[in-house]
Amino acid sequence: MPKLKPQELEARRREIIVSARACFLRDGFHQTTTDQICKEASITPGGLYHYFSGKEELISAVIEYSTEETVGKLRAAAEETEDIGSAFQELAAFLFQTMRDPDIDNVVRLDMEIWVEGLKNEKLAEISRRSWAARRQVLERFIERSVKEGLYSTDDIDQKGFASLLMAILIGLRLGKLVWKDDFDLNGAMRMLFLMNAGRLAANFPTITLPAK
């Protein structure tokens, strides 16, 4: 293999990751072979193993690549906007765009494969946990900013708890769309989510004693 400059090596590595991700999304992690990845990336098996030791290292790289891409978009929306109102609108737009991505069901299928594989592969599980923690931390900073700039009417907010709840809801929306298909009212569910967050679904619930932290 000709000697490449560091930036060329990194660019080629990134191309392989993108190709592997395309294969994993199309055929699943377990069904995808290294030969398929080589064909997608237009590289020989020897060339592939120059960059990655095998499929497990590739799936880890795919997780990290997807995390970097998603967190970058989240951070731009939540932290780099002029004011909290604009940040909220940008995050909402990002959510709607993500949920309507034609590839979203394949993304969720791959996530589910990774979660299941992580039950018996602690290294992969740790990479997956870090991936989702990075997303949650951006949401935590957004919530902190929201409190400071008056989007929420109280400063008594558990930022990590609130961010964790939002993450669970968003994962649930994606799973609902995949599993229940047309029987799942995605648009209605998302509209109700925003109404709840806006406090427009207030109800006279009985008093609930919350457990201590």
pLDDT of 5-58, one tens digit each? 778 889 999 999 999 999 999 999 999 999 999 999 999 999 999 999 988 899
Give the model's pLDDT for residue 8: 81
Global pTM value: 0.86
What is the architecture, at CATH level 2, of domain 56-197? Orthogonal Bundle (1.10)
Q: What is the mean pLDDT of residues 118-140?
A: 96
At what angle are helices 84-99 and 55-79 packed, to 10 degrees?
Answer: 140
Query: CB–CB of 114/128 below 8 Å?
Result: yes
Query: CB–CB of 194/169 below 8 Å?
Result: no
Burial class (CB in 10 A: 0-12, 13-18, 19+), 114: buried
- How many Å apart are CA 27 and CA 147, to the nearest integer? 43
Is the pLDDT at 4 greater than 70? The verdict is no
Q: Could you tell me what percent of the chain has a pLDDT over 90?
A: 75
For residue 3, report the phi and psi dihedrals to the nearest 5 degrees: -70, 125
Is the pLDDT at 138 greater than 90? The verdict is yes
